[in-house]
Structure 1
Amino acid sequence: MRREFKLPDVGEGLTEAEIVRWHVKAGDEVKVNQIVVEIETAKSIVELPIPWDGVVAGLMADEGQTVEVGVAIIAIDTAEETTVAAAAAEDMVPNPPAEGAVEPGAHGSPAPKEERQAVLVGYGVKTGASKRRPRKQPPTGIPSGPVANPDRVEVAAPPAPESAPAALSAPPEARTTVPAAAPETARQAALAKPPVRKLAKDLGVDLTSIRGTGPQGSITREDVHAAAEPVRAAPRRDEERIPIKGVRKMTAQAMVASAFTAPHVTEFLQVDVTATMEAVRRLRTLQDFAEVKVSPLLLVAKAVLTAVRRHPMINSAWDEAAQEIVVKHYVNLGIAAATPRGLVVPNVKGAHALSLPELATELAQLTETARAGRTQPAEMSGGTFTITNVGVFGVDTGTPILNPGEAAILAFGQIRDMPWVVDGELAVRAVTTLALSFDHRIVDGELGSLFLRDVGAMLEDPLRMLAWS
């Protein structure tokens, strides 16, 4: 029995994803829960397992292709027997309802029914109305030769599936006469989904002039972009255009929403961190930290967690719908990480309850996973406070934008030797600059200043972390 595995929504309400890498090819044997493909969503790269045993009949999407949720991406030939588990897996992804007009050659689908919908492993199950996407048939053929009446064209009836009984097959002579194509009819002759049609309209591309490369000759987003490229590239051939998608697209949308929703205020503080650098060197010699990397960021994170305990309002969120400020008595500490695909902000869940060695281990794993592009959507949700380490790029400071849903973010600048006055004498000390941006609806100048002062004081004298913990 041939089964088609459809691109799932991995639990974040996403509508599309890019095929990054296939782990299998046609003819390969696969086992249940074997990873067969990597996709890039708007949040991160996700590995997808296959829900059946069988043999790969074919790959239905190419690497680099953007596919909508609910579209089949791989076909598997399985055993004839259909088990309950397999039946549930076959409908792993609820199909979205058809958008706009029905595509040519599409048949109606049964009425939605209330049923248990299986979703991707690790994201639980849900119950709701499941709608199946109308089945697609090959596009109707339009004769290319001359016709008897120039005002009318003949459209051949769509061929019946090979498995259909002979009695149901349309005879060759069966033809339907329709009026000559008007502009709207000509546009319908191009097999494309409503989102693709809208993209073509926005880019000024005529769909009837494109040869589709999708299933059954359908026109894809890539086809539309390829058709539009010569027009866009003509004025300037010394320019490069990079599609806005995936992580970069999500980051851009989140930052714009944050910047124009929360009134940002940023304060700065220069700190002598000579004692912190000495504490880092001593921690590296301890057996408890033998298996993890100890960096100044570890003590900055510990100072932030301690300061949050002293000033809980800094770790809160603005609930516009309920008109409430939600103070969170736990800390999911986000660490902004630059990756080849853009900025991601995974967070350490329950960071406030971790010991220093445990915190060091979590930060190391978080950073390694992010740089490898393996951060999962669940690891980036639910953050309550973020640190962005701009110092690793040789930058002194910046004005960070809040992560949506959080009240504050701390930028940690580079540590460098600077002249500093110590006990009335000029000395060379290790100095960094901290920048705290906060939502002025929640955090006023006094609270922001007290929090930043406390973080700076603990980095100046790490013993204060013990005293204030």
Structure 2
Amino acid sequence: MIQDFLLPDLGEGLPEAELVQWLVAEGDEVTLNQTIAEVETAKAVVELPSPYAGTVTTLHAAAGDVIEVGSVLISYDIGGDDTPAAPKKEAPVEASADASEDEPEEKAQPNLVGYGAAPRAGGRPKRRARAGGAAPASADTAVLEAAPHDIVTELDHGDTVVERPRSTPPVRKLAKDLGVDIALVPPTGDAGLITRGDVEEYARRVGSAPTAGAAAEDAAPSHPPVTAGERTTRTKIRGVRKHTAEAMVRSAFTAPHVTTFLTVDVTATMELVASLRADRALSEHRIGVLAIAAKAVCAALAHHPELNSKWDEDAGEIVAHHYVNLGIAAATDRGLVVPNIRDAQDLTLVEMSDAIRRLAETARAGKTAPADMMGGTFSITNVGVFGVDAGTPILNPGEAGILAVGAVRRQPWEHHGEIALRDVMTLALSFDHRLVDGQQGSLFLKAIGDILHEPGRAMLLR
């Protein structure tokens, strides 16, 4: 029986996706929930799990093609007659000691919802060996591909166990470029995920060197190779870059932007950062100035709610948010994304730092879920990480304000009536002038600056 798999809605009603690469070929045997392809939407790269077990008969697209949601992506021969079986209603099966090992894989029914794979059973899923003969399917093979990079083979009749810890395609590419065997890298991410930082730390520790061209590739987004004599290169506008451009144009020509600047002596904040990083109990959280700025923003928004509101043109209303979904702009190889931290106002400083780090790692790996980039109420962009002092950030559509955090400079500054070397930072706040008056925006920025100048002031706020 031939079964077509149509490209599903990958979230938030996105109409299309670009095929990044196939992970299977025509003629391959695939198992239920095995990752078959990577596709890129306007917001993220998504791994597609197979909704069927069977043989791949036809790949209906090539890498680089843009496919509309609902179009045929891949066809399988799943065995049996041409009458499709009704989907099973029970929950995804979990591995158990008494599970039957005689049930053929062809009976496994699709449990793909949207683009998510079936939940995994407890512990690490097992995959039958590809070499040394096919092993019979069992209950745990029904969910083995929910984490497709966990296990390559398992011990079976003398076969060698070969394990590959969980990692994302960009992280595996980085490991290859750095000459690192990813199987040797200790994971620190959730559920044993190897992060970009893990690979970089391992490479630094063992002295691995990047392969030719790797440093340049990591420093900037990749571009098509330039041949001799070419004077121009054209690149199709797609994916994250296209989405970002559309959003920024819409924001720039819809909301009247005003930007105000404030230069602040943040010596006390930098001393606080140094003391927190020196604390062994907190060292693993790597608390930095961005986390403190994020806490300052949340504290200031509680007293200046007009910066945490939305202009609803259709309803003719101003919507005031009583929570903070804090967007953190992240530069990736595919363009700028702004995922947000939900209910950031409830986080401690340690929790805020951890949330920012996880958000950045997920964004760089191209794994930010579309839903995580929706519903933000205020954003921060850290231009200081690039050595820039200030800028005029453009609002995220639907938000009233965005703060640009500049680089911290050690420079002469007036302090207690004298000139001294101090740590100085410039803050830039852009806001929607329909929602925020100049006085309100200035007082909000001053409130953030006061906290960064004297972090102890945050203790006075409720």
Distance in 1 between residues matched to 2:36 and 2:369, nearest whole Å = 17
- 1:262 offset after TM fit, Å? 0.5
* 1:439 maps onto 2:441 in alignment: no
Larger Rg: 1
Letter of the 1:47 counterpart: E
What SS class does the counterpart of residue 10 from structure 1 fall into?
Answer: coil
Match of 2:313 among 320, 326, 331: 320
Q: Equivalent residue for 2:85? A: 83
Residue 388 of structure 2 corresponds to residue 395 of structure 1: yes
Identity of aligned residues (%): 56
1:413 aligns with 2:406: yes
Kindly state the Cα deviation for residue 354 of structure 1 after the two structures are TM-superposed.
1.3
Give the Cα–Cα distance (whole angstroms) in 2 for the partners of residues 21 and 428 of structure 1.
53
Report the Cα offset of residue 288 of structure 1: 4.8
2:65 aligned residue: 65
In 2: Cα distance, 1:356 partner to 1:31 partner: 44
Conserved? CA contact 2:295–2:349, under 8 Å: yes
Structure 1 pair 80/291, CA: closer, same or farther in 2 (3 Å)?
A: farther
Instruction: Check 1:436–1:53 CA distance in 2 against 1; reply closer, same or farther (3 A cut).
Output: same
Tell me if 1:10 matches 2:10: yes
Deviation, 1:12, is 2.1
Instruction: Give distance in 1, aligned partners of 2:400 and 2:32.
Output: 43
Matched, 1:404 2:375: no
- Secondary structure at the counterpart of residue 329 of structure 2: strand
Cα pair 2:308 2:321 within 8 Å, conserved: yes
- C-alpha contact (below 8 Å) 1:288/1:357 kept by paired residues: no
- The number of aligned residues is 328
Q: How does 1:15-414 map to 2 (within 5 A)?
A: 15-80=15-80, 82-85=84-87, 120-121=114-115, 237-414=230-407
Taking structure 1 as reference, are residues 446 and 122 closer, same or farther at Cα in structure 2, changes over 3 Å only? farther
> CA offset at residue 52 of structure 1?
1.4
The 3-state SS of whatever aligns with 2:284 is coil
Write the distance in 2 (CA, Å) between the matches of 1:66 and 1:359. 37
Moved more, 285-294 or 330-339: 285-294
Contact 2:376 2:399 in 1 (8 A): yes
Change (3 A) 1:291 1:26: farther
Q: Which SS does the other structure have where 1:442 is aligned?
A: coil
1:248-306 deviation digits (Å, cap 9, x = unpaired):
11111110110010010000000011111111111113355333222110101010011
Kindly provide the amino acid, as one letter, of the partner of residue 120 in structure 1.
G
**Matched residue of 2:393: which SS?**
coil
CA offsets 1:388-446 (integer angstroms, 9 cap, x no match)? 00011111100000000000000001111111000110001111100000000000011
Change (3 A) 1:122 1:60: closer
Tell me the residue number matched to 2:169: none
Q: Distance in 1 between matches of 2:256 and 2:235?
A: 31
Residue aligned with 1:302, SS = helix
> CA RMSD of the aligned region, Å?
2.0
Q: Is the 8 A contact 1:52 1:86 kept in 2?
A: no
The Cα of 1:16 is off from its aligned counterpart by: 1.8
Query: Does 442-451 or 45-54 show the bigger shift?
Result: 45-54
Q: Structure 1 27/292 Cα, relative in aligned 2: closer, same or farther at 3 Å? A: farther
Which secondary structure does the structure 2 equivalent of 1:448 belong to? helix
Q: Deviations over 1:176-219 (max 9, x none)?
A: xxxxxxxxxxxxxxxxxxxxxxxxxxxxxxxxxxxxxxxxxxxx
**Which residue of structure 1 aligns with residue 218 of structure 2?**
none
Q: Aligned-pair distance for 1:86?
A: 7.3
- Give the 3-state SS of the residue equivalent to 2:297 in structure 1: helix
Q: Deviations over 1:18-71 (max 9, x none)?
A: 111222223333232222211111111112122112222232211222222222
What residue identity is the alignment partner of 1:52? Y
Separation of aligned partners in 2, 1:444 and 1:79: 67
Q: Secondary structure at the match of 1:284?
A: helix
Aligned residue for 1:357, secondary structure, equals helix
What SS is found at the alignment partner of 1:238?
coil
Separation (CA, whole Å) in 1 of partners of 2:85 and 2:348: 48
Report the Cα distance in structure 2 between the residues aligned to 1:467 and 1:388, rounded to whole angstroms. Answer: 26
TM-score normalised by L of structure 1: 0.67
Residues 418, 429 of structure 1: 8 Å contact kept: yes
| Contact 1:20/1:64 (<8 A) preserved | yes
Q: Which runs of 5+ in 2 are unaligned?
A: 90-111, 118-225
Q: TM-score, normalised by structure 2?
A: 0.68
- The letter of the residue matching 2:4 is E
| Match in the other structure for 1:201 | none
Contact 1:292 1:361 in 2 (8 A): yes
> Residues of 2 paired with 1:370 and 1:342: CA distance?
10
Structure 1 range deviating more: 15-24 or 245-254 = 15-24
